[in-house]
Structure 1
Amino acid sequence: MKSLTSLQLFLLLLTTVFNLFSSTAAIGVNYGMVSDNLPSPTEVANFIKTKTIFDSVKIFDTNPDVLRAFANTGITMTVTIPNGEIPNLANEGAASAWVNANIQPFHPQTKIKYISIGNEIVLIGNPAHINGLVPAMRTLTEALRKAGPQFQDIKVTSAHALNMFQGLTVPSLARFRVDLTETFFKPVLQFHQQNKSPFMINPYPYFELNVMSNNIDFAVFRKTPGVFDPASKKTYSNALDSLLDKTYTAMSALGFGDVDIVIGETGWPSLGDPGNKAADMDNAASYNGHLIRKIVSGVGTPLMPNKKFETYIFLLFNENQKPGPLTEKNWGLFQPDFSPVYTSGALRDGPQPNLSNPGFDFEVKPGQPLPKPVQPMPAPPADNAKKFCVPKPEATDAQLQNNLDYACSHGIDCRPIQAGGVCVEPATVRSRAAFAMNSYFKSKLGVDSACDFSGTGQVTTVDPSYGNCRYV
């Protein structure tokens, strides 16, 4: 066979690399703006297009300045409708009015791919939002169809937190919560199957640390012995694969394994409050660096090999006005001046992170025994139910009001501390904040870092329940 010249070898390599990247799933970024020091949307759009690997952006509202800035850039967008709009959008007239006001002026110059109705509504637990989601998705889809053929490719979805599984089990046996399987998840998945739209999830290994015995290395893709699923005989080298396969198994059990899964949010904070050992730059760089390589490679998961997941990393910028623990301000890949917070691999021509586990599986030579996995997957600490989160004595009312507002706007059912609720008395900021802080702490499965609240919270084993007000 005729040998190839250096030029021919170079062209062959170039073609191979191009085919690899052109055939992989999209990788995007969440663009949050809870900050007073961010560059203009036009500058952001230009930075993403010219400097980063991202080809898509997800925003948390229909900010017209942002939509206008991304016009004609070629970057696709996902826009999020706030949870409070869900009941209203079930009305045909309201859905059509929303499309006319928020989508028509910007499409097709702005490439809108998904409209996400609400965010993590099961976690927040408002019955009106949960019951209204599927009707709103149906009505908005019909409104897009009636608006014209140029809107037919926009898919409607909603992003879900991973508090949707029944109990703690291995990935191959996961099921949706029994109280919502028939009334919520089955209709949601039926909608997606009928409309060829994706089921969007927000898998955060950071918030699952307590479930995995605080195994940070497993959470951030570092090499570990792995975790074994005795039912499927699969070994998991990282937490994200486990969360994705749990979702796939629960969907398949209902007959919807053919519905695409899109990762709407995932990431890792680079800074936390004192005592938070998980939130640092090394862990963030390891998680997001490995994540980017995983998504680009299209390697898939143990139960979904070679599956390509469209993924949106959380978050583009650090947001200095986010309330709550210090971690909430430090999920960003970049500072407001576009300098990297750490090396993640998100810059197109920038440095690459030093990854300890680039293959995402075990490299075993012939005749070499497999690494001994953990059997079965670790359960949460036995004393988790005995831990509570309460304010520190020195915390001020202003600080506690911030904690209260943050918890109640991030997935906590605060009706017990509202008028007529069993925990409304005593009517002090400290009492109401204590209930909300503990509820937020429990929603994060009791991981200690969820009780930081910028140094104003503390973990205790003393149950603060009183009367009919129970701290669960």
Structure 2
Amino acid sequence: MASLGRGRKLGNLLLAPLPSETVVSGLLRPNNVTSVKLFDADAAVLDSLAGSGISVMVGIPNDMLALLNSSKAAAASWVHDNVTRYFPGGGVRIEYIAVGDEPFLLSHGNRFEPFIVGAVVNIQLALATAKLADRVKVVVPCSSDVYQSNSSLPSSAHFRSDLNRTMSLLLSFLSKHQSPFVLDIDPLLSLQQSANLSIDYFLFRSSGRHLTDGPIRYTNFFDSTVDSVVTSLTKAGFADMDIIIGRVGWPTDGSPNATSNTAQIFMLGLAAHLKSKIGTPLRPMRAIEQIYIFSLLDEDERDISEENYARHFGVFTVDGQAKYGVDLGQGTKKLANARDVDYLSPRWCVANDNKDLSNVSASALSACADADCTALSSGGSCSGIGWPVNVSYAFNSYYQQHDQDADSCDFDGLGLITTVDPSVGDCMFSIALRDSSSISLPGLPALLWSALASVLVFAW
């Protein structure tokens, strides 16, 4: 049975993250998640996965690529510290090493591209030296802007010309070592950039406008994206290379069309499509074998310079509560939520109606510069609450981020601490989690979990 919970992407961008034992025993295991993707090799997180039977794709951050490219010794040291020590008796099933995180993004320019091939070669050499090359695959997650198409049709897609040499070397490496091409997909971003396609096309609804490419009619965005990569691989001389999805998901807040209901529709549509095993028009009856769902938990510190919804991809909220129903591996049962979550006291910070609030906007903007106010964005869950409730939301977000410190609710005397929940409809005023560093196992730092910006959800 196909499931949307075989994998999850784990990150490190939570202010007060759930302790690792809660994530592993309270979310991953009860929901039968069998694979996860980590953004980096956090030893404490990897240790928490020991003995769980969960397969891991462990990531190497982009800022390490230059060093790994220039130094075989650095690559050997990284593999020793983060991979070898878990074999054979370490108890962590490391399946992939993801070298870089979308290093070819257009927004990166050529900042990381010159170092990719050297880094993967040196990591592969280190694995071979450690006699792990037959057990761990080296991959490079690529964003969908790694290819381009003058007509926006899959048949005209090809890898970007500025990447010709690097991509040729990388694909030759992947082919030699029988490693898959890893594609990351952001369907909502693509929807926002597609003036001629309806949201139904992205949600696997057959009523949506179709994309006609010669004799082929594409009924959903997922197939057209995968086939764009298939075409690009074919033109590069690697027509048969396997493809896995390193990241796909739908956010639930921070933008129009970013809601829990829409995310559920997308996930259910994706699950049904993959369960059918029909493949894509260019690869019929050849289903993609691994898909990592982004992500397990919301990430309240993720960069929002490009998209306000970037912090809201979690299937679960930051406190481990399911936002919608989807099969992550648990089958027909409801998703298991995190239990015994340790919250701070039920207190909130709001704008004091008894004060002159005529100049309060500056304080609210200052709060949002530091705290997470993305729910107030146009189309967000709190975008319609009006003034001064939106000011209260900003104040409370800042207050909770600072662990309910009384001084963080001052705002030049315009803030007020209350024990009355100010939430309005779907706009929820949060209560911070107690800092997990105070409740984790002795000797372990606070563990930062995101959510399988890749959690292996579908595996056949």
TM class by shorter chain equals 0.5 to 0.7
**Where has structure 1 moved over 6 Å in runs of 4 or more?**
392-395, 400-403
1:154 correspondence with 2:118 = no
Gaps of 5+ in 2: 336-360, 373-460
Deviation by residue 1:147-188 (Cα, 9 ceiling, x = unmatched)? 12x45310111111111223342112211112222x121111
Letter paired with 1:198: P
1:25 and 1:193 map into 2 onto residues whose CA distance is: 28
8 A contact 2:247–2:291 mirrored in 1: yes
Q: CA deviation at 1:339?
A: 2.5
Is 2:80 the counterpart of 1:100? Answer: yes
Query: Does 2:186 correspond to 1:207?
Result: no
Residue pair 1:61, 1:81 contacting (<8 A) in 2 also: yes
CA deviation profile, 1:348-403 (whole Å, cap 9, x unmatched): 155589xxxxxxxxxxxxxxxxxxxxxxxxxxxxxxxxxxxxxx999958867999
The 5-angstrom pairing of residues 127-276 of structure 1 reads 127-148=110-131, 150-166=132-148, 167-181=150-164, 183-213=165-195, 215-231=198-214, 233-272=215-254, 276=255
RMSD: 2.8
Match of 1:321, as an amino acid? E
Name which of structure 1's ranges 185-194 and 45-54 shifts more when overlaid on structure 2.
Answer: 45-54
The alignment's TM-score, normalised by the length of structure 1, stands at 0.66
Determine the C-alpha separation between the residues in 1 that align with 2:302 and 2:4.
Answer: 30
Is the contact made by 2:252 and 2:309 (CA closer than 8 Å) also made in structure 1? yes
Cα distance in 2, alignment partners of residues 176 and 147 from structure 1: 34
Report the alpha carbon displacement of residue 119 of structure 1 after superposing the two structures with TM.
0.9
Q: Which has the higher helix share?
A: 1
Task: Please give the alpha-carbon distance, in whole angstroms, between the structure 2 residues aligned to 1:394 and 1:161.
Answer: 38
Q: How many residues align?
A: 338
Identify the residue that residue 338 of structure 1 maps to in structure 2: 320
Tell me the residue number matched to 1:367: none
Tell me the residue number matched to 1:448. none
1:117 positional shift: 0.9
Does the 8 A contact of 2:33 with 2:328 survive in 1? yes
* 1:86 aligned residue (41, 58, 65): 65
Relative contact order, higher structure (CA 8 A, sep 6+) = 2
CA distance in 2, matches of 1:85, 1:320: 24
- Between the aligned residues of both structures, percent identity stands at 28
Q: Is the 8 A contact 1:87 1:128 kept in 2?
A: no
Instruction: State the 1:81 CA deviation.
Output: 0.5
Structure 1: gaps spanning 5 or more residues: 1-19, 354-391, 404-472
Deviations 1:188-227 (A, max 9, x none): 1111111111111101211111343251111121222542
SS in 1 for 2:278: coil
Q: Identify which of 50, 54, 58 aligns with 1:71.
A: 50
Instruction: Summarize the Cα distance change of 1:308–1:74 in structure 2 as closer, same or farther, 3 Å threshold.
Output: farther
Displacement, 1:319? 1.8
For the residues of structure 2 that align with 1:25 and 1:270, how far apart are their CA atoms? 17
Matches of 1:259 and 1:199, distance apart in 2 = 7
The structure 2 residue matched to 1:118, chosen from 94, 100, 106, is 100
Taking the aligned partners of 1:210 and 1:326, their CA distance within structure 2 comes to: 13
Q: Amino acid of the residue matched to residue 184 of structure 1?
A: T
Cα deviations by residue, 1:228-259 (Å, 9 ceiling, x for unpaired): 3332x111111111100000101011110121
The one of 50, 59, 67 aligned to 2:38: 59
The answer for the alignment partner of 1:35 in structure 2 is: 14
Moved more, 261-270 or 167-176: 167-176
